[in-house]
Homo-oligomer: A and B are copies of this chain.
Amino acid sequence: MICIDKRSKTPYYQQIYRQLLEQILSGRLSAGHLLPGSRTLAASLGVGRNTVDNAYSQLATEGYLLPVPGRGYQVQALPELLLDRTGPSSVPNQPPAEVSPVLYDLFYGSLSNRDFPFSQWKKEMNAVLAQESQRGINDYPGHKGDLLLREQLTDYLFETRGILCSPDQIVITAGLQGSLDILCKLFLPDGGLHVFENPSYNKARFIFQCHNLSLAYLTLDHAGAMPSSLPKDQKVTSIYLTPSHQFPLGMVMPIQRRYEFLNWALEHDAYLIEDDYDSDYSYYGSPIPALQSVDTNGRVIYLGSFSKSLSPSMRMAYLILPPALAHRYNTELAAYNGMVPWLMQRTLAQFIANGHYRRLVRRLRTKFKRTHDLLLKELRQMSPEIRIVSQGHALKFLLAFPDSMPREWLIARALEQSVRVYSPERFWQPPEDCPPTLIQIGFTAMEPEDIPLCIQRLKAAWFPEQ
């Protein structure tokens, strides 16, 4: 903060100059920092703009500041000797530059900008903002979220996933990790083990680790997680499952095994956490009812999200708690504020109520199925040596290659052809257990018409001679 002493004999521009110089020399204004515009600073100090301009240009003359056309002045880097700071001088901001620009990024999780429902979202949001008398806009949202949205979700989930719950059991959260933050806070006093599939979603395990909870892992076979691999001697508090499509391998858990887990949970007083992350995307046959929908004993906690069916940038998800846990949430976590902006919640409620959401999901499902099928066909044609591991998975593929083609090579060769493919290592525990020729490609950000060209490049990268 710059202070002007108006009774001092030192001219104002000198006062500003000296204070800025001191801050640059002490390292508190670090290299690259853009100073506020002279008009802005002048207004906040109550001096003329020329006064600030004088101070700035003096510092620029002496080499402390660099004029950046159109943006003002930036603090110059100083030699180490002049600086007397303790911490690291700055935090790396940008990832290192790429060798070649990426044309096709097969990242899992992003959607194409073309698929965001700009006009309907704008319309519903403006309609919410037009009701200026609505109390929600300047209050703390309720800690479970907007009631209208929870009511809309209740109906939608009954229709599409067979889920039976009352809006009281739903908590609107800021994404999957927001849901898990809440669960971990509920579980912390209980101790016990939290069991994950292996492989599983690393960013989900991470939240449990952040709360110092103890983790254990389930073995998988062709039908998904094996109940026989559940820990025998220790209290299990929760079991995290992805029954609809195992993450990341894609298999569907058969009904018999679902009941085995349900019965085990009942017998051992454990909770099943059902992460139904891509529930809207079953391309073949009817969707399998959610585990929650066959649970009659309040053992299933259901996790849903709007990241794949509206936008990952919206950070909206939800948690359906069995009645006993919902009761604990109300009492033990009453001091936990909701974290989702009311405006987004209410807009989404109207977006669902007015039919836009159902239409959007139908449109995305049709598009993703088209991309999925096309990609599958092209991959099969590319080479018989590629094994498609995660067939049945709705929004990405895991591909296995011959031993002679290790992952690092596959990724580097693809990048030379301006296509980015990914390593799924982080899903395995430990990551070294991930098969060494496995790679992951997501396709939700791709347009179907781009697939042939993208595949042509991948073929040039991996099978140039065929």
Contacts and interface: CB of A to CB of B under 8 A. Distances in A.
B339 A315 contact: yes
A337 B34 CA distance: 27
Contacts of A256: none
B323 A87 contact: yes
A75 to B, nearest CB: 9
A44 B164 contact: no
Interface stretch (A172-180, A390-398, A429-437): A172-180
Interface in A133-173: 133-141, 151, 154-155, 158-164, 166-169
Q: Determine which residue in A125, A151, A154, A337 has the highest number of CB atoms from chain B within 10 A of its CB, and name it.
A: A337
Contact of A161 (B1, B164, B296): B1
A466 interface: no
A404 interface: no
A379 to B, nearest CB: 24
A110 B129 contact: no
B339 A178 contact: yes
Contacts of A85: 296, 298
A118 to B, nearest CB: 6
Q: How many copies does the complex hold?
A: 2
Interface in A312-335: 312-316, 322-324, 326-327, 330, 333, 335
A423 interface: no
A436 to B, nearest CB: 23
21 contacts: A26-B296, A33-B154, A40-B159, A41-B159, A87-B327, A90-B166, A91-B323, A91-B326, A93-B167, A116-B138, A118-B137, A122-B126, A136-B313, A138-B311, A174-B315, A177-B339, A202-B335, A203-B335, A210-B336, A313-B342, A315-B341
Interface of A: 1-2, 23, 26, 28-30, 32-34, 36-37, 40-41, 44, 85-93, 109-113, 115-116, 118, 121-122, 125-126, 129, 132-141, 151, 154-155, 158-164, 166-169, 174-178, 181, 185, 188, 202-203, 206, 210-212, 289-290, 293, 296-298, 307, 311-316, 322-324, 326-327, 330, 333, 335-344, 445
